[in-house]
Amino acid sequence: MNQEESISGIVAYWMAKAKDSLEAAEDELKAGRVAFSVNRIYYACFYTVSAVLFQKGVKFKKHSGVRAAFHKYFVKTGLVSHDTGRFYDELFEARQRGDYIELVSFEKEQADEWLRYAKVFVYEVGLLK
């Protein structure tokens, strides 16, 4: 296996995880577990961003590094809109609150909206090279 095949395999792996996370987010939302759905929505976008960054030869160990690189390589260069960058930031913050702060809950309507946008995000950002 050459390096290009190895990179494509890893990118495909992250994109598969992104799609699985979207499905899990939908299942969690249907079951009424809104906070778990928000977590999976965020991870769908995180895995997608990780895939496109890896394709560029960029890799991070922390979520904050992935977030910063997403803005540096894609938002600031105009490859994705500022609205898309804000959406990713909003999900990042929501996931942080939901996972690490006590008594945080999310409205189902908000999670529904995030899930709809995340599906577009995963598709569109996943196409970036």
Per-residue pLDDT of the chain (129 residues; tens, 9 = 90+): 677 778 899 999 999 999 999 999 999 999 999 999 999 999 999 999 999 999 999 988 899 999 999 999 999 999 999 999 999 999 999 999 998 999 999 999 999 999 999 999 999 999 886
Burial class (CB in 10 A: 0-12, 13-18, 19+), 17: middle
Phi, psi of 31 (to 5 degrees): -80, -5
- Which pLDDT belongs to residue 119? 97
- Which pLDDT belongs to residue 19? 97
For the whole model, what pTM was predicted? Answer: 0.94
Fold of 3-126: Four Helix Bundle (Hemerythrin (Met), subunit A) (1.20.120)
- Which pLDDT belongs to residue 41? 98
- Which pLDDT belongs to residue 1? 65
Q: Which residue has the tokens 């929501």?
A: 94
What gap in Å lies between CA 87 and CA 117, rounded to an integer?
8
- Which pLDDT belongs to residue 6? 86
